[in-house]
Each structure stands twice: as structure tokens, then as C-alpha cells.
Amino acid sequence: MKQQDKKTFLDTGVLIKAFQSPLEEGKKAFNIVAAPDRKFVVSDLLKLELLPKARFHKQSKEIAFYEDFFKSATLSIEINSALVEKAIALASEYDLAPCDALHLSAAIEAKVDEFITTEKPTKPFFRVQKLDFQIISLYVPPSKSDKSKT
């Protein structure tokens, strides 16, 4: 790996935004996925969260986008019992959702430089201490016009 390359773990929401969103948040996510200075780390859980729904709905472009991303990854972390135990410990200490705890545990295992998510910076994710990497949020609060549509 070149000196400037960043080992990066992308949360599920970042990849969904990169594929689907035409808004600024989506462009930012797509530019991260396309960045030549990043080496991506993926996990079995990331694949499980992204591929089944796209396959069920026969979204061939979306499937191809995710599969190309997975093929380009430099490291794939297997979800095994040791990783699950680490995730349980993290979730217990910081009140993390199970998938968030597994994603963070995979990122810790891979010794990433950064973890990028679309989660709000107020989520338990951001309370986790003693990480050797930065958690970056691409979260964009909904505009007032978005709120009135819900």
C-alpha cells in the first residue's frame, strides 16, 4: 500500500447512498467509493446487508455496483465467533446496535484508518473510545421540506 492510501471501512448506508442518491450526500459517498487513495475493507455482514434485497428485486445495476465494490476491496473480514464476541463486548459497553457493533469490530480487526458512515453523529457509534481510527459521518439532516413529506 502506498503511503497516502487510507484503509477504509464503509458502512452500509454509504454504499447505498453512493449507488442511489443524486443529492449532495450521494455525490460525496460516490466520490469516496471512487477515490484512488483508499483501500477498502469489507465484511461478510456488509455483503449480507447489501446484496439480498438488490437480488430479490432483480436490480442488476445495483447488484453489479456492490459486487464490483466487493471485488475491488483489498481485505475481506470474515464474521466468526471471535469477532462476534468482540462485537458483543463493544455493544454491551456502548449500547451499540448488533450490526453496528459487528461493523466496528470488523474495522478494528482490519486496523483501518477510517470508518465512514451515514449515521447521525449523536448515535452510540460515536461514543466508542480508544479506537485507532476516525469515524466520519456523511449524515445530512433532512431539510424542512423533507420533513413535511413524512
List the grid coordinates of 59: 436490480
> Which tens digit of pLDDT belongs to each residue from 61-94?
999 999 999 999 999 999 999 999 999 999 999 9
Strands, E, within the chain: which ranges? 6-10, 38-43, 75-77, 114-117, 134-137
Q: What is the pTM of this model?
A: 0.90
First CA to last CA distance, the chain: 45
| Closest alpha carbon to 77 in 4, 3, 5, 7 | 7
Q: Read off the pLDDT of residues 42-62 as tens digits, 9 standing for 90 and up.
A: 999 999 999 999 999 999 999
d(CA 34, CA 65): 11
What domains are there in the chain, each with its CATH number? Answer: 6-148 (3.40.50.1010)
**Positive or negative: CA dihedral 114, 117, 119, 123:** negative
